[in-house]
Amino acid sequence: MDDRFNTAAGWVLGAAIVALGASIASGMFFHADSGELPEGVEPGYFIEGEAEEGGADSGPDLGTLLASADAAAGEKVFAKCTACHTIDQGGANGIGPNLYGVMGKPIGSHAAGFAYSSALKDKGGSWTWEAMNEWLTSPRGFANGTKMSFAGLGKPEDRANVMEFMASYGGAPAKPDPVAPEAEDAGEDAPGAGQGPVEGAEAGAAESATGMSADQPVPAANAATNTDAATKVDE
């Protein structure tokens, strides 16, 4: 009996030691404590975290935002861009291209001598207000593969102000019109709408006639017209 118990206990202890060793080995291989993947192992997918300025907030339409955009406020926001870009006429290219007169120009070819990424050169089109707004929201979302590492401007007002500031250096195309608010539909709840009399609406003669109940008395064609028995007043 003791031999069987000792044998079983030995197997259990051995299995526990093997499991512990496998856990330690797998933790060392996959860098469990550091959160890093071993060399040569690629993640199944990658979710890019939103930076402080990145991501887009919902808000008024672009035309409405641009109608009240402030170039002076945009200049303050543009200070974030000066680490890579110049905007004065004739300014040199840096990590990013010079941005003088970029609004309305073809995408990926504005600054002579700058090595644009193929992702941006192949984008096509021009820097309209809509395209620039999308680019400033998320450069990588606009042109996947761009060399620009800036996360983007999350506030629609900041993007509108920056574009207004950029437009003051070299001009820009016409702005999009603000979206007109939708007119409220009166529907069928307005007085007099629909069929039949409605409370609050003045009924016509035809409606008054047809709206009478069947229980109401209707004068007969041969109703008595003799008024001799009627009481005379102030005669």
Residues 6 or more apart whose CB falls under 8 angstroms from that of 78 comprise 87, 162, 165, 166
Is 99 part of any domain?
Answer: yes
Is 182 part of any domain?
Answer: no
Is 200 part of any domain?
Answer: no
Q: What is the pLDDT of residue 182?
A: 76
Is 40 part of any domain?
Answer: no
Is 97 part of any domain?
Answer: yes
Q: What is the pLDDT of residue 113?
A: 92
Is 121 part of any domain?
Answer: yes
Domain residues for the domain of 131 are 62-167
For the chain, 235 residues long, the average pLDDT of each consecutive 10-residue run is 68 72 61 46 37 54 96 97 95 96 96 94 96 96 93 96 98 95 60 54 50 49 46 40
CB neighbour class for 166 (10 Å; exposed up to 12, middle 13-18, buried from 19)? buried
Question: What Cα–Cα distance (Å) separates residue 19 from each residue in 13, 34, 154?
Answer: 10, 22, 48
pTM for the complete prediction? 0.56
Is 137 part of any domain?
Answer: yes
Q: What is the pLDDT of residue 103?
A: 97
Number of folded domains in the chain? 1
Q: What is the CATH number of the domain that holds 155?
A: 1.10.760.10
Is 7 part of any domain?
Answer: no
Question: What Cα–Cα distance (Å) separates residue 192 from each residue in 30, 152, 188, 202, 207?
Answer: 75, 54, 9, 8, 11
